[in-house]
């Protein structure tokens, strides 16, 4: 089988290429050059392209660089900026998987005559006797990346391989060391690739300020309507946030959390932790890995890459939680599981503070 490996310059994709080569596949490596701005850091940077090339040379395989900067700007960066401008908290890594790695990259691979693409994600794809695929958690629960792949559909997974999904991270590093790969001890990327992490003005604010107007906003106590503080940029506040909201604590000294971000009125509603609890996650952009599950089906939902799973029931327009949980910021992904199997996902839609328990009795 001819396999095009998306080599990010990290140890996982390096070992993925080595494993496929050892299995006798015809392997070619390719690195996506996605971001070329002055904050060229994180995954898919110039340094990562060089690291991937060194690994390919060590393995004796071809290596190519695909420039997808325009597609990345259009499908990932621009929606990220627009999301923050609307008071949402987008997940650019999820959208990169959706639009770049398993869309543009896969499309190019098939056009070039490859049978499949492979990445270094810690996840597993299993095929049943009929050839249908299932997406499962990676063997290493600490490094499981099935959450960020929950937007993929069956047709994409049919052509996708995750060779390190059955390995633990220490096993991956030991194999890379045995093979003499230069990425064996390379740290995992932690940053959003296009958000600078260096010097004054770095981080989200440093990236967004030249691209969208940021506005100061009021911090308002949800239960009383009293103004209790202010923020420098309402567009940078995330639902569930505690820090950076001015004097944090009402007369009782209780901690306050962002319950709702209203960019149009430049207002952040805050309240106690109990007011942050909800019984429902409204979802849009619903996707299914396979066939859509029936409404009323019980699933496990996960709202961050390594977050806790919670029991929920599928319903029209979202999921109903069987036990109350913290609200998830609009723009974030909620992945749905049945056991270890990813069955689908959705993006959290905006919901007001009134969705909290105090105003939404259990049904």
Query: pLDDT per position in the chain (363 positions), as tens?
Result: 999 999 999 999 999 999 999 999 999 999 998 876 554 455 566 788 899 999 999 999 999 999 999 999 999 999 999 999 999 999 999 999 999 999 999 999 999 999 999 999 999 999 888 888 999 999 999 999 999 999 999 999 999 999 999 999 999 999 999 999 999 999 887 667 777 543 445 688 888 999 999 999 999 999 999 999 999 999 999 999 998 886 654 445 678 999 999 999 999 999 999 999 999 999 999 999 999 999 999 999 999 999 999 999 999 999 999 999 999 999 999 999 999 999 999 999 986 543 433 333 333
Please state the pTM of the whole predicted model. 0.90
Q: Is position 193 annotated as part of the catalytic site?
A: yes
For 277-359, CATH gives 2.40.30.10
Instruction: State the catalytic residue, choosing from 43, 44, 93, 96.
Output: 96
Instruction: State the catalytic residue, choosing from 43, 93, 193, 336.
Output: 193
Domain 2-178 has CATH 3.40.462.10: no
Q: Is position 96 annotated as part of the catalytic site?
A: yes
CATH class of the domain at 213-271: mainly beta
CA-nearest of 134, 88, 86, 118 to 16 is: 118
Ranges of each domain in the chain: 2-178, 213-271, 277-359
Say which residue the tokens 């328990």 belong to.
Answer: 357
């Amino acid at each position: 089988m001819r396999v095009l490996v998306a080599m990010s310059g990290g140890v996982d994709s390096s070992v993925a290429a080595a494993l496929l080569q050892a299995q006798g596949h015809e392997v070619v490596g390719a690195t996506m050059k996605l971001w070329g701005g002055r904050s060229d850091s994180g995954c898919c940077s110039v340094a990562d392209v060089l690291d991937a090339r060194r690994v390919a040379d060590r393995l004796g395989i071809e290596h190519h660089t695909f420039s997808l900067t325009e597609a990345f700007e259009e499908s990932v960066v621009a929606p990220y900026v627009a999301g923050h401008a609307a008071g949402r908290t987008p997940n650019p890594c999820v959208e990169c998987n959706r639009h770049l790695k398993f869309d543009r990259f896969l499309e190019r691979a098939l056009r070039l005559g490859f049978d499949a693409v492979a990445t270094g994600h810690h996840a597993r794809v299993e095929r049943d006797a009929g050839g249908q695929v299932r997406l499962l958690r990676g063997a290493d629960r600490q490094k499981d990346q099935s959450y960020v792949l929950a937007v993929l559909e069956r047709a994409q997974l049919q052509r996708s391989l995750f060779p390190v999904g059955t390995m633990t991270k220490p096993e991956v590093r030991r194999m890379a060391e045995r093979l003499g790969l230069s990425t064996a001890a390379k740290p995992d990327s932690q940053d959003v690739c296009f958000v600078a992490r260096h010097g004054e003005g770095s981080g989200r604010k440093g990236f967004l300020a030249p691209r969208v107007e940021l506005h100061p906003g009021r911090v308002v106590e949800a239960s009383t309507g009293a103004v209790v503080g202010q923020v420098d940029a309402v567009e940078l506040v995330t639902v569930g946030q505690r820090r950076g909201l001015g004097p944090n604590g009402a007369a009782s000294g209780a901690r306050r959390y962002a319950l709702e971000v209203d960019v149009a009125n430049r207002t952040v509603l805050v309240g106690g932790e109990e007011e942050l609890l909800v019984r429902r996650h409204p979802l849009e952009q619903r996707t299914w890995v396979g066939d859509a599950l029936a409404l009323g089906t019980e699933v496990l939902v996960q709202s961050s890459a390594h977050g806790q799973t919670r029991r929920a029931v599928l319903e029209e327009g979202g999921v109903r939680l069987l036990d109350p949980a913290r609200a998830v910021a609009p723009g974030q992904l909620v992945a749905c599981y049945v056991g270890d199997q990813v069955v689908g996902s959705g993006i959290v839609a905006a919901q007001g503070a009134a969705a909290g328990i105090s105003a939404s009795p259990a049904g």
